[in-house]
Amino acid sequence: MFTNGAIDKETYRLALMELKKVWNLVEFSDEEVEAYLRLLFLVGKDYGLDYLNTMNIVSSLGYPKSVLLLLPDKVGGARFIMDDIIEHVGHDKEGLVKSAERVIAKAIIEYFPGITLPDGCRAVIMPRGNGAGNMKIKVLAVNCKLMGYTLRPGCPFMRDLLYSKLNVNFSSI
């Protein structure tokens, strides 16, 4: 990925292992973390930043705050957040977004306020609609006991809770 001959593969592997420890991402594969890093650097490039400036910004923000570089300014629409991110970073990066989905979801869960369900699942949700009886919920990220980290609203425990307590119709999410 970032190896251009300046460092050998073993040094790169050790640096990636250390980054995963520092950012508390050891549960993720190297490929998932690399996809997340690559997305950050490609977004920086899209903003006209060179590699060094992007690295300084990513280092300053750290994890999970660096996820802000991947999120669009507005996320209130009816689409899934993954679709919003793909549109924001560019459709040519769709594969990277899908590869980094779990890392992105964890960053959103850790950075933004969310809810913890009685079963221990966690979610970051936001209201959308005009508030006049037209309230809907947009699920940004979930850490589900069954599904793990995801940018999809498929957690069955969350569905049940939101439907029963908030009377949310998930067909409109």
For the CA atoms of 118, 124, 128, 131, what is the dihedral angle to 10 degrees?
50
pLDDT of residue 159: 76
Q: Which helix (H) or strand (E) holds 162?
A: helix 156-166
Asked whether residue 68 carries a pLDDT value surpassing 90, the answer given is: yes
Q: List, for residues 124-140, the tens digit of each pLDDT value.
A: 988 776 666 666 778 89
Q: Model pTM greater than 0.85?
A: yes
The answer for residues whose C-beta is within 8 angstroms of residue 115's C-beta and 6 or more apart is 122, 123, 124, 125
Q: Does 64 sit behind a cis peptide bond, omega within 30 degrees of 0 on the bond before it?
A: yes
State mean pLDDT over 61-86.
88
pLDDT of residue 117: 86
Burial class (CB in 10 A: 0-12, 13-18, 19+), 48: exposed
Strand runs (DSSP E) across the chain, as ranges?
Answer: 115-116, 122-128, 136-144, 148-150
Structural domain boundaries in the chain: 9-172
| Cα 32 from chain centre | 11
Give 9-26 pLDDT, tens digit per residue: 888 899 899 999 999 999
Residues 6+ apart with CB under 8 A from 37: 1, 2, 58
